[in-house]
Amino acid sequence: MTTALVTGANKGIGYETARLLGERGFTVLVCARDEAAGGAAAQRLRDGGAAAVFVQLDVTDPESVARATKRVEDEYGSLDVLVNNAGIAKGEWIASASTVASMREVYETNVVGIVALTNALLPLLRRAPAARIVNVSSEVGSVATQLRREGPLWRMTGLAYPASKAALNMVTVMYAKELWDTPIKVNAANPGYCATDLNGNSGYRTPEQGALVSVHLATLGEDGPTGVLWGDLSMSHGDTEDGVLPW
């Protein structure tokens, strides 16, 4: 049995990622902080034929992380895929108006929570033959893309969310380097601008298109990359293809 754990899987890109991994034969651990929403999502996936199991998980709550980890260990013994998908986008619109409170809140979920969960699950990922870790990041965390004067992100100067994704990119690189000589691959995903609750459904890509980026990185073969930011290139290069983005 191959198992994949997806955080924030009750809706949006996370739900679609769980659905697509289920279609590909994974037993999917559908994680959500809200019991009712997560339970309903797992039920929908089971109704569609997937082996989907709801696991309560708030990445900012150490007790919830410990409970979920113990459950994965007790019930599955190892973990093949971890998709760190849960994220929030909050904060003020310009850097100089950023508050400490919004910086802390966004970093707690988008950076600290991912480190906490990854460290907790790493022993189980090491027990799988060739685990894959996917950190769902964003092109807005690409320093080179933000600095393209002619690019669509030039006018973005809000701080908390882009800075958290830039930090997540470095988190990805550091895990990739630590695990370089193991079969585990660690990459950051750029879903592109997808219509979800995160952005008031204003994105021009579908959640499924965003999820396909995570699924690609979750199912990389032995010859696939580690330590890259991969996904939608429309904002970094103006391309319609997926590929490696600059950091």
Ligand X SMILES: NC(=O)c1ccc[n+]([C@@H]2O[C@H](COP(=O)([O-])OP(=O)(O)OC[C@H]3O[C@@H](n4cnc5c(N)ncnc54)[C@H](OP(=O)(O)O)[C@@H]3O)[C@@H](O)[C@H]2O)c1
Q: For ligand X, which is the closer residue by CB, 152 or 223? A: 152
Buried/exposed 191-222: b ≥16 CB within 10 Å, e otherwise:
bbbbbbebeeeebebbbebbbbbbbbbbbbee
- Give yes or no for residue 196 binding ligand X (CB under 6 A): yes
Q: For ligand X, which is the closer residue by CB, 76 or 193? A: 193
**Interactions with ligand X, residue window 17-36 (CB under 6 A):** 32-34
User: Is 15 annotated in the active site?
Assistant: no
- Give yes or no for residue 198 binding ligand X (CB under 6 A): yes
Q: Judging by DSSP bridges, how do beta strands 51-56 and 81-84 pair with one another?
A: unpaired
User: Is 185 annotated in the active site?
Assistant: no
- Give yes or no for residue 11 binding ligand X (CB under 6 A): yes
Q: For ligand X, which is the closer residue by CB, 57 or 179? A: 57
- Give yes or no for residue 142 binding ligand X (CB under 6 A): no
**Interactions with ligand X, residue window 47-86 (CB under 6 A):** 57-60, 85-86
Distances (CA, A) of 46 to 19, 24, 27, 59: 9, 14, 10, 24
Catalytic residue among 11, 15, 76, 165: 165
Q: For ligand X, which is the closer residue by CB, 73 or 108? A: 108
CB 198 within 8 A of CB 89: yes
10 Å CB burial of residue 55 (0-12, 13-18, 19+) is buried
Q: For ligand X, which is the closer residue by CB, 119 or 199? A: 199
- Give yes or no for residue 197 binding ligand X (CB under 6 A): yes
CB 40 within 8 A of CB 10: yes
Report how far residue 95's alpha carbon sits from residue 159's, in angstroms, rounded to the nearest whole number. Answer: 5
Distances (CA, A) of 82 to 46, 72, 103, 204, 237: 20, 12, 25, 26, 28
Coil vs helix vs strand at 194: strand
Q: Which of 12, 22, 158, 227 binds ligand X (CB under 6 A)?
A: 12
Catalytic residue among 161, 175, 185, 193: 161
Return residues touching ligand X (CB under 6 A): 7-8, 10-14, 32-34, 37, 57-60, 85-89, 109, 113, 136, 138, 191, 193-194, 196-199, 203
Catalytic residues: 161, 165
